[in-house]
Amino acid sequence: MAGDPNQVKDYKVIEIQPQVAELHTDFPATIEGQQTVEIRPRVDGYIEQIYVDEGAVVRKGQKLFRINGDLFQQQVRTAEANVRVAQTAVSNAQMKVNQVKPLVERDIISNYELQNAQLNLQSSRASLAAAQAQLKNARTNLSYTIVTSPANGVIGTIPYKVGALVSSNIPQPLTTVANVSKMYAYFSMNEKQVLDFTKSTGGSTLQSKLAKLPAVELILPDGSAYPQKGRVEAASALINTETGSSNFRATFANPLGLLRSGSTGTLRIPATIPNAILVPQKSTYEIQGKRFVYVLTADSVASVPVDINPSASGLSFVVQNGLKAGDKIVIEGIAGLREGAKIKPVVVNADSVFNALKQEEAQH
C-alpha cells in the first residue's frame, strides 16, 4: 500500500547549545630566509677554485671561492721587503743618535748635530710605520682572495665558473647565502581584517596585540601542514594605499631545512570562540548566496536565514546571526522540506552529532 503523501514524517532535530568552536583564517604567504647575503669579491682576479656547490649547507667562515692571488702575494713580498728596509733605516738612525748624544753632552760637537740625528730617527720611524701599514693592506688584500661565508645558510646559484674574471663591480654576485635556520612567512591583511584584528585582540600596542595571537600554522603547497608552529611577530603600521592591505610577518623554525626562500604556502591563524552557536553543514541550504536552516516551531518548520563562518573542521558552521541557544533545527533530510511543513521531531543529542562530525573530519 502506498504511503500517504500527507503523512507527517520523522525528522531528526537538535537543540542549539553554545559550545567551544575552533575557527581559522587563511592567508596566502611567501617564504623568505631570515637573512640572504650576496657574496661579492673584494678584489679583482680569476676564479681559481669553487669549494661548494649550489644548494649546499655552509657554516660561517667556510671557504666558498679562491681568486687568483699571485699579484697580491707579490705585493705582500714587496711590502715585507720595504718593512725590512725601513727597520734597517730606523736602526741606523738610532745608532747615529746614540753616537752623537754623548759627544754633545761633552761639548765636543754642537747640539745641532744631535737634533739632526733625532729628526732623522723620527723620519725613519714614520717610514717604518708607513711600510708596516702597506704590508697590512697587502696581507688584507691577499686574504680577500679566499672568499668565505659570512653566515650559516644555504648556497644559492653560482653564475661564475672556474676561470671567470671577477671584480667588486660584477653585475651578479658570486652567489648568495640564505640563512634558513628561521624562515619568515610574509602575508597581508586587508583593511577590514586589520580593523577586526585591532578591535578583537587585547593589548595597548600593536606589538602587545601580536604577542596575544595564538601559534599559527603553515600549510605547504601539497596541502600538508608544516610540522613546526610559528608566531606572528611583526606587522607594518601602514596601510598600502595601492593594495588597501597591511603586511605581516610570521616566524617559523626550520631545523630540517624543509622550507626554502622563494617558496609559497598558506598561513593559517586559528581562533577559539568559547560560546559559539554551531550547526552541521548538512543542516543548511543555500539560495542566491544566502544560507538557511529549518527551525522547529511547534509541529512545523520555518526557514530562517543565518550568517555563518566555516568552523575549522569544515563540516559545521559557526552562526553569527539568526539562531540562539534553545532553538531546535532539522539536521537531516532538509531537501524534502518546505516553509511551514509539518514534521514529527525526533530530538537527538547535539554533542553526539558534533562528535560524529569531528570523527568524520579526522578520517579525511
Cell of 327: 532553538
- φ and ψ at 74, to 5 degrees? -65, -40
Half-sphere exposure of 159 (CA within 13 A, CB side): 12
pTM, two decimals, is 0.61
Low-confidence stretches of the chain (pLDDT beneath 50): 1-2
Q: Looking up cell 547549545, which residue turns up?
A: 17
Identify the pLDDT of residue 107: 81
Identify the pLDDT of residue 74: 95
Identify the pLDDT of residue 361: 65
Tell me whether strands 245-253 and 290-297 are parallel, antiparallel or unpaired.
unpaired
Q: What stretches of 13-110 show up as alpha helix (H) in DSSP?
A: 70-105
CA distance 333 to 344: 13
Is 99 in contact with 92 (CB distance < 8 Å)? Answer: no
Q: Looking up cell 640572504, which residue turns up?
A: 36
Identify the pLDDT of residue 114: 87
User: What element of type H or E holds 112?
Assistant: helix 111-143
DSSP 154-204: EE------TT-EE-TT-SS-SEEEEEEEEEEEEEEEEHHHHHHHHHHS--S
Half-sphere exposure of 152 (CA within 13 A, CB side): 7
Is 38 in contact with 173 (CB distance < 8 Å)? Answer: yes
For the CA atoms of 286, 292, 297, 300, what is the dihedral angle to 10 degrees?
A: 0
Identify the pLDDT of residue 34: 81
Query: In terms of Cα–Cα distance, which of 50, 79, 84, 70 is closest to 174?
Result: 50
Domains of the chain: 9-21+274-363 (2.40.420.20), 25-34+180-272 (2.40.30.170), 41-68+145-172 (2.40.50.100), 70-143 (1.10.287)
Identify the pLDDT of residue 1: 42
